[in-house]
Amino acid sequence: MKRIDADLLVIGSGPGGAMTACVAAEAGRDVLIVEEGSHHSVDSAPSFSLAEMDQKYRNGGLNVTFGGTSITYLEGRCVGGGSEINAALYHRPLDQTLREWRDQTKIHGFEPADLWPHFEAVERDCNVNLVPGGPGPAADLLKRGAGAMGWSTRDIARFWSYPAKGEPPLAGSGRQSMTVTLVPRALRAGARLMPDTRVLRLTREGGRVTGAIAERSRAGEPHERYELRAKDVFVCAGAVQTPRLLRRSGLTHNVGDTLQLHPMIRVTAHFPEPMNDLGYGVPTEQVDAFKPALTLGCSYSSVPHLALWMGAEPTPGNASAKLDKLRDWRRTGIFYVAAVGTGKGRIRDLPVVREPFIRLPLTTDDLKRLGEGFLRLGQLLFAAGADAISTPVNGGPPIRDRAALDAVASALPQGKMTVSTIHLFSSVPMGADDRVTGTDSYGRVHGTTNLYVNDASLFPASPAVNPQGTVLAVARRNVLEWLGG
């Protein structure tokens, strides 16, 4: 077994891991980053394509929780993690949310004023920008429908680089993922990166973690085992993989018992006029009138994505009818409702296989909230001129009027909908109250002296917004605390 030594071992290279490695390496620490997935450039495959899903998603995107309603979830499995595959939307959470977290688990040093400098650094270092010249026709349509209903909307910034003023729309733009921003900075500062390497377990001597045992697997090469030795270890593998690794290593106190997520339902809507222009990328307009409980927005609407979310109508010749609709893709868009979920899930490893078992209920309150959101989304789409909306209920017919919309929204059925999420968190919550937390206020795992978590697992509850910005800001806060300790 080969041995590699470092001052700091960072497990995972998504937003939390990339920030941890970058800050530590630039402070002069010898950093080793270990990533289970492969290292691809940000443009190695078209965004939201099947090729990208094969390269960068865990299991090609086919991951599911179990409960009355199964929830499909997406995880990045590549250098850069979720930042390589998500919509790259950036939010600061509400002050109210941060204070609720602070009070809920007794987090020290967590006033909003303490965190805003870290958000400002993220916005600067990761190129957070609004779309110049407006977010495109699909977003304009969402804004028009919301305006007709008297609801406020907001254009959301992205981790994205846009062309200079006067250049063609979106020419030369680019996703500012971790492989573009923080990972290269960490490497320039001397950090080492091991992709295609899965950490099997952490090694421990009492309360001290000495490193990890890992296995490297690359196409066409034999598997290699490594002993990774480090003075300190940060686990930043995401809200599912982080608790799995901790539990495999015998660390189970409040670990993997409180996973939370944002349940989402997506529908397609057809309009009389063309409205789907893929050249603008992901539409960035969101309805904020019902936040933090509910967010309404529109998704990237390529033909494969339309096929996925269009649903199956219970009529003869459905395949042919669906193809006809896909040919009319310029008049069709995907729209979503994202809710703050109330269920809490348990993450456990299945024997023998390398996959987790996640039991997470979609609660009655979740169904009611999603039903309310779907009703409001449908009202918005009809107000914007839609002539048909697909139903979130599997096998149901399209919705063409308000009466049908009311009927579906009032009784979303458990177990008969396609529910998904791209936002997972809260599986190893942080805070000084060790009765309900897995780490202290800065991510140090209870019962250890030198093991830290630094990703979305730490959130005590939902951030109620896209979480990437919060992950980066909290990770920066924590690693700077570690450096000063």
Question: What is the Cα–Cα distance from 110 to 102, expressed in whole angstroms?
Answer: 6
Q: Write the single-letter amino acid at 401.
A: D
d(CA 283, CA 170): 13
Other beta carbons within 10 angstroms of residue 47's beta carbon come to 17
Rounded Cα distance between 267 and 377, Å, is: 10
Coil vs helix vs strand at 406: helix
Which residues contact residue 459 at a Cβ distance below 8 angstroms, ignoring those fewer than 6 apart? 101, 260, 425, 426, 429, 430, 467, 470, 474
The number of beta carbons lying within 10 Å of the beta carbon of residue 40 is 17
The helix/strand/coil state of 230 is strand
Facing residues of 309 across strands?
A: none
For residue 137, give the amino acid letter: P
> Do the Cβ atoms of 343 and 361 come closer than 8 Å?
yes
Is residue 281 a contact partner of residue 373, using CB atoms and an 8 Å limit?
A: no
Which tokens belong to 50? Answer: 């099947």
Q: State the catalytic residue, choosing from 118, 262, 423, 446.
A: 423
Give the Cα separation of 179 and 15 in Å (integer): 10
Angle among Cα 85, 97, 71 to the nearest 5 degrees reads 45
CB 138 within 8 A of CB 298: yes
Task: Provide φ and ψ at 187, rounded to 5°.
Answer: -65, -40
Is residue 423 among the annotated active site residues? yes
C-alpha–C-alpha distance, residues 329 and 70, integer Å = 28
* Helices 137-149 + 364-383 axis angle, to 10: 100
> Are the CB atoms for 89 and 295 separated by under 8 Å?
no
The residue type found at 242 is: T
Distance CA 98, CA 347 (A): 25
Nearest CA to 203 out of 194, 213, 195 is that of: 213
Active site residues: 423
